[in-house]
Structure 1
Amino acid sequence: MSGPLDTIPVGVQRAVLRGLLGLPAPVRRLLAGPPVRRDGQTLAVPAQLVLRARHLGGARGLAAATPALARAAMLRDNRVVGGPPPPGVHVRALAVAGASASLPARLYWPAGLARPAPLVVFYHGGGWVVGDLDSHDHLCRFLARQAGVAVLAPHYRRAPEHPFPAAVTDALATHAFAVRQAGALGVDPRRIALAGDSAGGNLAVVTALRSRAEPGPRPVFLLLFYPAVDATRRRRSRELFAEGFLLTSRDMDWFMDHYQPDPAARADPALSVLLADDLSGLPPTYLATAGFDPLRDEDEAFAARLAEQGVPVVLRRHPDLIHGFANLFGLGGPFRDAVVEAAGALRAGLVLGASPADASPAGAPADQRAAGQ
């Protein structure tokens, strides 16, 4: 991964990691070390092996001495775990008209998808500081093919060069572009979903909240992987999983200090969406959390608030996984299974969805917890 292993070619690192994950279960268990149990959960052996490999390589979290170094490390790590790009998806470069400049973007179109197609606007994660079109390219390809949808991914402006609310402005501009240019893109403006992981999930929720006041079709579904939803409070999961599970508490401080340096301003609901006065009117939502994630408890509090305000929501905790599991899907096993499940929810949400202006009242909320999974 990162650190001392930088001298080893990425292809060799990838082959070694995949070889470890392909060993018989007893051997993997031996190499991973004793089971990691916390808060009534047991970490999946593949996740433990990934973390062990990162630890041996000198990586402790996602932050670095500078944003440039952290961005390079994320790209390198993703090449190690990613493997070849999922086939059967055509990718086209686009430019989205932003508030101050054009934003680079990509349109992913799976083979055989008929027009007008359902569309997912996917906002990449990375603490609003790292991550880009390349870091989440494979995930966007996989979601497009697995869910049978087009995916539009923007490269929004990142902090610290462009602190809050620049990323929000660009997220809103991308959704407006998708609606406005639906015909040219070949998509159905009445079947547009928003999705994202971590910081990208935050941007998806903010965009959905803002769209309630805009004319025209609104998003019909939200797909959220472990979104950041509250920058004002440290919950129990942040203390339980503060160190050693990819995203650390120190990382979270580092990201937030770049994105919104003023602690007094972090309660803004355009950042801490959990604190928004009114969440009603948001589209049906599938929210995936990881058991060993500092963000877990704020995410589950957010799902509870959605349900309380009449938003149909499925909360899916993967109790044995870590933050960032969506980018690990290329390693197979529980990582891939979790993303396949999310893609299935996305497909169903878009098949059943219609523009809120045309839809009947939402049904009762659903809540799928970790128990018995």
Structure 2
Amino acid sequence: MTKLMKAVVVPAVKAAWEVRQRPVPEPGPGEVLVRVHACGICGTDLWMAHGVLSFREFPLLMGHEGVGEVVALGAGVTERKIGDRVGLPMMQKRCGACGFCREEHPDSFVTAGNCAGPTLTGVNVDGALAEYAVAGVGGTVLLPNGISYEDAAPTVCAGYTTWAGIRRADARPGARVAVVGLGGIGHFAIQFARAAGYHVIAVTRPGKHELARELGAADVVTDGAVLKEIGGADVVLHTSSSHAAAIDAMTGLRPWGKLVLMGLSEDEMILPALSLTTHSHQIIGSAHNGLEYLAEALDIVARGQVRPMIELFPLERADEAYRKVADGEVRFKAVITL
């Protein structure tokens, strides 16, 4: 095997993304080496590249929407074999020794936020925006037959986030589910909610109404007032970059309804306390809620019930992909192919 690989490196805050030569990493005990075939760019990657989130010093080798083929096994690995097709989600492994870990919670995004020393692919260790990546075997998930690497990549984070939030909402069969925002997560949410048999209502600006219907929305509205007029929603899925949009949509949230927060937003969230209490609404935060939900999401995509909307870029055009994502010019997920 070659000793050098190409990798996308972010040298400094808001700097251009560069393709550099890096040594191919070697898997240690309990780890696998993956030949990466595709990796999506996530909003979290932008926040780290822009210095909004900081987990380690620059230069950064990011990427937590990576998928590829296992090409080498570290000592003691029995759960994977050479040739396995796997995804590399962000949550790789917990420290196992802190107070949170001693409570023996299943690994999830909550682990990432509460473990004293988690290993997070593409966040505090090198990620999958490279020809090869190393991960703990527990930080990999098998890809089902029938799913392409290109479709699997954005499902490993954006699709995972979406399906986990829908499962967390635990709505009754046939419930009315409103999706706020139509972007990287929102376009997944409409399709996943439809695949689950819900009556889907898209809450988005007029320019995206036709697309929302094409994705499977039964109704499309522009705001919470109109949502209320057409009968409201049992669940509101917040997928946009604005908390204000989610709060507005709560105008149409039915009694005992749930608001599930999945979109990352920088604006403050001011809740309508009176209606929250009088209607017994629930506010639920949700991210990656366990690898079983990722496996389910991948299966749904593999069956063709959900089709990620992606724009492909070769590794050499990674900086162009980054710029287009940052400028909101990609519909809806940029995927780097290797």
TM range (shorter): 0.3 to 0.5
More strand by share: 2
